[in-house]
Chains A and B, each alone.
Chain A
């Protein structure tokens, strides 16, 4: 089944570029250049995901999203040139599912679209087995020793798996590299904590779409690492 993606940006060139990328991945695309147009198209068609620019004429993206959320539960990814943290937080708080800052990498956009759609269409509300650990789109089956991200299996080394398990069992808790070493390797690090840091980086590269801006496996600089529930 081909998903319907609505691209909404006042820059025609950006819309057409995104259209080319999404079409190549077999998505049906709809185009809108203002917030009002976007709302009209969502009313008429069965849209599965919206890529929404914030700064637009007539009706800006944030207003459009508030209106959209009154009726629909579809994933919305915000696109914007504003890179301030406060802007991101505001966008996520009023109902965005993800956030991409301009200038963006088309591959990253595709990955995020894919991830959001998988979660929305396939995993949404699926019942979780007791041996399963779930944080956001990451699902860990401790019996089968498998990990999936948005439904796609990722392959981890045993140590990476152990570290991820420790962090997923205690979501939100910050573990210092020393703690992780002691718990995973079962011995004192004596200066080899950096091994943990390297493993974490590898884990991030496998789990995250953009490892520099992780959604789940977060670095608390000067303190340690933690697992968080998907909202960036």
Chain B
């Protein structure tokens, strides 16, 4: 395919052929029109000839008549054979006046093919007696004859031959015309395909003409056409042969020009954006560029105006326009109404848009406030400050989602880190504990040394507890523990707790008082985890309760919830909030020096929450109160 479209010789040949086929086609169409006009397709050749002969005869008759009129005064000098404007010998005539007198004739008696009689009238003036002009009218009759045997070489002879030929060819002409049309169409398509193609190039390459703006090219071609028409108009009066040749030449030029435009268009179309290389497009784009710049300048101005100023400006414009409208339509109610309707048509949608935007922003703000960070406000149909505001809100939620994710990730990381590090701490700690124990068993005389060893022993035990608590705290707070929820009776747990702690509480100089309802109260909990909560809280009590006071452990049923309350009087001044106490590693300042890791409460809270319960701390002076809340379960039996 490329071989065909990229060949220059083939292209030139096709252009040449195309011109010929188009000319043939035009000629064919003209010929068909001519043949149709002369009834070639409907009657016999003889009838066609009659029509043609008639027109020739009439022409000849007229020229003879005009010859007669112009030579009326000196007829006697006329030599029929030599002076007549026609050289025909197939044409014979007898010119008579109205009285039947023969005035001029070349008649000779023989066999005729065709005869006609024409009447001519001639208006003239003769001088009257008084010298005035008198209008006279003379009538002449001409009998015309055409010889049957057309032996003279005149128009009759030529056209007779031509008609015979044309009649024979009358269908062939149609076929040739159609064929030339088909060939020219094929050539045209080929030329369009090959336009802009060159040998050895895959791209479409524009030539010099293709770089001229297309509309300029069109104007140029139309100008040439106009010039041609003017030239032809001038030539009309000079010479028919020159005219014909010029006409043909122009036709060829026109065909070539049209082809050129088409090929140039095809090239531009293939390159794409053919409209871009036009004067009109350039002008329009220039205008749009200027308009855009203007709009952007106005937009910039509006954008950097504060919302209030913007509103004032718009309102001012509206008022100004309203005023202008009222001034123009002051006396015309219909015009005023028209202005009013136009204003409302523009204003109402704008106000509705504003209200919709505000509604969307309100909804988005509410969602974000509630904590739905995935909510995104649809800012597509908003404008100006509304859009900006919506986007800002969206960004807030994005930022917060990111922050929350980051926090979860770092929590997980922290748990892992704590677990791994505490594993690594445990091994050396084992050695320390063991060797401290071994030293204790040696016979040590020095009292000081014994004291130091006691410190080592105490502190290493504390370190042990701390590492264990640390792992547990991080696991509990991140929910990294298996929870096995079963119906658990709190009364039994109370009993067990008393059993476990009876001695320690007594040793701490405390009195434990249990208060529980008659009925058994069950909750859904993991007994092991719930015991750890109790364990932590009770060991806190033993450590931090004022000796000689009572410790209350209450179980109540409030609003369908089992409420467990630990109450004791603190040994130390609680100059700290309950929230701070719950935070890991935070204890009342005064208790910093005592045993324990400070994680107990935090672990207890996390474990309670893992079991879908609630742990709250209340500090009232020296009264320290821990309240556990669990939903009461109606299920009293363990189901595997």
Interface residues of A (CB under 8 A from B): 11, 13-14, 17-18, 20-21, 81-83, 85, 102-107, 176-178, 193-194, 196-201, 219-224
- Tell me if B577 is interfacial: C-beta within 8 Å of chain A: no
| CB contact between B496 and one of A11, A14, A221 (< 8 Å): that residue | A221
For A222, the chain B residues whose CB sits under 8 A away are: 488-490, 492-493, 496, 525, 527, 530-531
Contact assessment for B502 and A223 in the assembled complex, using a CB-CB cutoff below 8 Å = no
Bound CA–CA A18/B437 (angstroms): 11
Residues of B close to A197: CB separation below 8 A: 495-500, 502
> CA separation between A209 and B499, bound complex, in Å?
19
- Given the known interface contacts A11-B427, A102-B426, the answer about A221 and B433 at a Cβ–Cβ threshold of 8 Å is no
Q: Which residues of A contact B497 (CB under 8 A)?
A: 197
> For residues 189 through 207 of chain B, which have their beta carbon under 8 Å from a beta carbon of chain A?
none
Shortest Cβ distance from A101 into chain B, in angstroms?
8
Determine which of B471, B488, B489 lies in contact with A83 in the assembled complex, contact meaning CB atoms within 8 Å: B471
Which of A18, A82, A177 contacts B495, CB < 8 Å? Answer: A177
B362 at interface, CB cutoff 8 A: no
- From residue B63, how far is it (CB to closest CB) to chain A in Å? 131
Asked if B435 CB lies within 8 Å of chain A CBs, one says yes
Q: Chain B residues with Cβ under 8 A from A224's Cβ?
A: 492
B571 beta carbon closer than 8 Å to chain A = no
Which residues of chain A are within 8 angstroms of B528 by Cβ–Cβ distance?
A: 221
* B429 adjacent to chain A (CB < 8 Å): yes
Q: Can you report 12 A-B residue pairs in the complex whose CB atoms are below 8 A from each other?
A: A17-B434, A17-B435, A83-B471, A103-B429, A177-B492, A194-B498, A201-B499, A201-B502, A219-B531, A220-B527, A222-B492, A223-B527
Report whether A221 and B531 are in contact in the complex, using a CB–CB cutoff of 8 Å.
yes
Q: How far is the CA of A197 from the CA of B495 in the complex (A)?
A: 6
CA distance A194 to B433 in the complex (A): 35
Contact A105 B488 (CB under 8 A): no
Knowing A102-B430, A103-B464, A223-B489 touch, does A17 contact B438 (C-beta < 8 A)? yes
Q: Are B530 and A14 in contact (CB under 8 A)?
A: no
Q: Contacts A11-B427, A14-B427, A222-B527; is A198 near B499 (CB within 8 Å)?
A: yes
- Could you tell me the distance in whole angstroms from the C-beta of B471 to the nearest C-beta in chain A? 7
| CA distance in complex: A13, B471 (Å) | 25
The answer on a CB contact under 8 Å between A83 and B500 is no
Decide if A103 touches B433 in the complex (CB within 8 Å): yes
Identify B492's interface contact among A14, A103, A176, A199, CB under 8 A: A176
With A83-B468, A106-B437, A223-B527 known as contacts, the answer to whether A14 contacts B498 (CB < 8 A) is no
Give Cα A17 to B489, complex, Å: 45
Decide if B427 touches A102 in the complex (CB within 8 Å): yes
Interface contacts (Cβ under 8 Å), in number, total 101
Contacts of A83 in B (CB 8 A): 468, 471
Given contacts A106-B434, A194-B502, A201-B500, contact A221 B493 (CB under 8 A): yes
| Closest chain B residue, CB of each to CB of A221 | B527
Q: Could you say which residues of chain B place their CB within 8 Å of the CB of A102?
A: 426-427, 429-430
Find out whether the CB atom of A18 lies under 8 angstroms from the CB atom of B527: no
- Residue-wise interface mask of B (494-511) relative to A, using a CB-CB cutoff of 8 A (1 in contact, 0 not): 011111101100000000
Q: Is B482 an interface position by the 8 A CB rule?
A: yes
Interface centre among A18, A221, A224 (most CB of B within 10 A): A221
Q: A194-B498, A196-B499, A223-B488 are in contact. Are A103 and B493 (CB under 8 A)?
A: no
Q: Which of B426, B432, B433, B435 contacts A105 (CB 8 A)?
A: B433
Chain A residues near B464 (CB-CB < 8 A): 103
Cβ of B538 to closest chain A Cβ, rounded Å: 13
Q: Is B395 an interface residue (CB 8 A)?
A: no
B431 contacts A by Cβ under 8 Å? yes
In the complex, chain B residues whose CB is within 8 Å of the CB of A104: 430, 433
CB pair A221–B530 under 8 Å, yes or no, is yes
**Alpha-carbon gap, A198 to B500, bound state (A):** 7
B503 surroundings in chain A (CB, below 8 A)? 201
Which chain B residue has the least Cβ–Cβ distance from A11? B427
Who on chain B is nearest to A199 by CB? B499
Contact (Cβ within 8 A) B525 A14: no
User: B499's closest neighbor in chain A, by CB?
Assistant: A197
Confirm or deny: B292 has a beta carbon within 8 angstroms of a beta carbon on chain A: no
For the complex, is B423 an interface residue (Cβ under 8 Å from A)?
yes
A-side contacts of B530, CB under 8 Å: 221-222
Name the contact of A200 in the complex, choosing from B434, B489, B499 (C-beta under 8 A): B499
Q: A17-B438, A83-B471, A194-B502 are in contact. Are A219 and B496 (CB under 8 A)?
A: yes
Docked CA distance A193–B497 (Å): 11
Query: Quick one: CB contact mask for B458-490 with A, threshold 8 Å, 1 for yes?
Result: 000000100010010000000000100000111
CB of A194 within 8 A of CB of B426, answer no
A-side contacts of B430, CB under 8 Å:
11, 14, 102-104
Q: A85-B482, A176-B492, A197-B500 are in contact. List 18 more A-B contacts (CB 8 A).
A: A11-B428, A11-B431, A81-B423, A83-B468, A102-B426, A103-B464, A177-B496, A177-B499, A193-B492, A193-B495, A197-B499, A201-B499, A201-B502, A219-B531, A221-B531, A222-B496, A222-B525, A224-B492
Complex Cα spacing A219 to B530, Å: 13
Q: What's the Cα separation between A223 and B497 when bound, in Å?
A: 12
Residues of chain B with a CB closer than 8 A to A11's CB: 427-428, 430-431
Q: Which residues of B contact A199 (CB under 8 A)?
A: 499
Other-chain contact of B438, A20, A193, A200, A201 (Cβ < 8 Å): A20
Q: Which residues of A contact B514 (CB under 8 A)?
A: 194
Q: Would you give the shortest CB distance from B416 to chain A, in whole angstroms?
A: 13
Top 8 A-B pairs ranked by shortest CB distance? A197-B499, A222-B488, A221-B527, A17-B434, A221-B531, A194-B498, A81-B426, A103-B430
- Closest chain-B Cβ to A123's Cβ sits at a distance in Å of 29
Residues in chain B near residue A194, CB distance under 8 A: 495, 498-499, 502, 514
Q: CB-CB < 8 A to A18: which residues of B?
A: 434
Q: Which residue of A lies closest to B468 (CB)?
A: A83
Residues of B220-259 contacting chain A, CB below 8 A: none
Closest to B502 in A: A198
Q: Looking at the assembled complex, report how far the CB atom of B489 sits from the nearest CB atom of chain A, in whole angstroms.
A: 6
Give the chain B neighbours of A177 by CB distance below 8 A: 492, 495-496, 499
Q: Kindly list chain A residues whose C-beta atoms are within 8 Å of the C-beta of B493.
A: 221-222
In chain B, what residue has the closest Cβ to A86? B482
Looking across the interface, which residue of chain A has its beta carbon closest to that of B431?
A13
Interface string of B420-446 (1 = CB under 8 A from A): 000110111111111101100000000
Instruction: A216 to B431: give the CA distance in the assembly, Å.
Output: 29
Chain A residues lying within 8 Å of B500, measured Cβ to Cβ, are 197, 201
**Contact partners of A82 in chain B: CB under 8 A:** 423
Q: Which residues of B contact A200 (CB under 8 A)?
A: 499
Q: How far is the CB of B476 from chain A (nearest CB, A)?
A: 13
What is the distance, in angstroms, from A136's C-beta to the closest C-beta of chain B?
21
Q: Give the distance to chain A from B625, nearest Cβ to Cβ, in Å.
A: 22
Q: Are B435 and A13 in contact (CB under 8 A)?
A: yes
When distances are taken between beta carbons in the complex, the residues of chain B under 8 Å from A105 are 433
Q: In the assembled complex, which residues on chain A have CB atoms less than 8 Å from the CB atom of B482?
A: 85
